[in-house]
Amino acid sequence: MNILITGVSSGLGKALKDEYLNLGHNVYGISRSKVNDCNHISCDLENLDGIESKLCRLLRNVSKLDLVVLNAGMLGEIKTFDKWTIKELNKIMNVNVWSNKIILDWLLSNRKIHQVISISSGASEHTYKGWSGYSLSKSSLRMMMKVYSTETEDTHFMSVAPGLVDTPMQDYLCNEVDTNEFTVTKKFIESKENGVTKPPKDVAKSIIELIPSLTKFENGSFIDLRDKK
């Protein structure tokens, strides 16, 4: 299969890339940091103007993608909503939402796309103190998948929440956030200590096992991996 994955230099994106390469698939990766083991282009998704030209270079010899995984994203700083500036909100929306719109619009106009998976979050449907920017962006991305699903006949879209994954995002939540002010953070610390937080490789394998069956779900649906256990 030809597979495009964003955010392949670390965390879940890297794990997905590694697993698909091990399975013998053609992986096309996008990330800020350079990656040498797959077809790759360095691209800062905050810079919206540069995305289309990068895609054109990366996929110049590819006419069809069997799978697109929109994994790249940013958490932003955990702080109350009144402390978020419009500039900061624009940045997180550019990375988590609008960059994906640009990617999808270009792909759907220039390539055949069978299946699109956006990596979502429980924060797309639950509100936590301090998570405002992330929640707004993830709920917007989730709705955007539903919008595309109603307007694109030949491509199947899904939003998948992977649960707790041991990534730099979890390191920030567990080590740098004030747990007295943002009490929900305590559950992330406990989950990591109790082994509930899973290694990226294990989560990637679970997602890969699930992906072939996702086209049986209603186009534009959302699922949480923790509900599939």
Is residue 102 one of the residues assigned to a domain? yes
Nearest by Cα to 100 from 62, 146, 69: 69
Q: What percent of the chain has pLDDT over 70?
A: 99
Compute the average pLDDT of residues 128-138: 94
Is residue 170 one of the residues assigned to a domain? no
Residue 94 Cα distances to 48, 117, 141, 173, angstroms: 7, 18, 11, 22
Is residue 141 one of the residues assigned to a domain? yes
For residue 49, give its domain range.
Answer: 2-165+200-228
Is residue 178 one of the residues assigned to a domain? no
CA 105 – CA 92 distance, rounded (Å) = 19
For residue 29, the surrounding DSSP H or E stretch is strand 26-31
Is residue 176 one of the residues assigned to a domain? no
* pLDDT tens-digit readout, 134-172: 999 999 999 999 999 999 989 999 999 999 898 888 888
Is residue 69 one of the residues assigned to a domain? yes
Q: What is the chain's mean pLDDT, rounded? A: 94
Q: Which CATH number goes with the domain that contains 75? A: 3.40.50.720
Q: What's the number of domains the chain is made of?
A: 1
pLDDT range class, residue 186, cuts 50, 70, 90: confident
The sheet with strand 2-6 has its strands ordered as: 39-42, 26-31, 2-6, 64-70, 112-119, 156-161, 221-224
CA 77 – CA 172 distance, rounded (Å) = 9
Is residue 186 one of the residues assigned to a domain? no
Is residue 125 one of the residues assigned to a domain? yes
pTM strictly above 0.75: yes
